[in-house]
Amino acid sequence: MAPAASPRYVALAGAVALLTAGFLLLARLLKLGFIADFLSQTVLTGFLTGVGFQVGIAVLGEMLGVPVSARGTIAQFAQVLRRLPQVHPPTVAVSVVVLATMLVLHRFAPKVPGALVTVAGAMTASALWNFSGHGISVIGPIAGGLPEFKLPSVGWSDLPPLLSVGRVVFRDDHHPECGNRPGSMRHAMSSNWTKTPICPVFPQPTQQPDSAGPSS
Per-range mean pLDDT, top range of 106-115, 138-147, 205-214: 106-115
Question: Residue 206 has what pLDDT?
Answer: 45
Residue 136, helix vs strand vs coil: coil
Q: pLDDT at residue 177 above 50?
A: no
User: What pLDDT was estimated at residue 66?
Assistant: 92
Q: Which of 30, 51, 17, 6 is nearest to 170 (CA)?
A: 17
Q: What pLDDT does 42 receive?
A: 86
- What are the boundaries of each domain within the chain? 1-54+156-206, 89-134
pLDDT for 81 equals: 94
5 pLDDT band, cuts 50/70/90, is low
Identify the pLDDT of residue 11.
Answer: 83
Residue-wise burial string across 59-70, b where 16 or more C-beta atoms lie within 10 A, e elsewhere: ebbebbbbebee
Higher pLDDT: 126 or 32? It is 126
> pLDDT tens-digit profile of 49-108?
988 899 999 999 999 999 998 888 999 999 999 999 999 999 999 999 999 999 999 999
Helix 89-108 with 114-129: angle, nearest 10 deg = 150
Is the pTM value of this prediction over 0.85? no
DSSP annotation of 39 reads S
Question: What share of the chain in percent tops pLDDT 70?
Answer: 75
Residue 196 has pLDDT above 50, yes or no: no
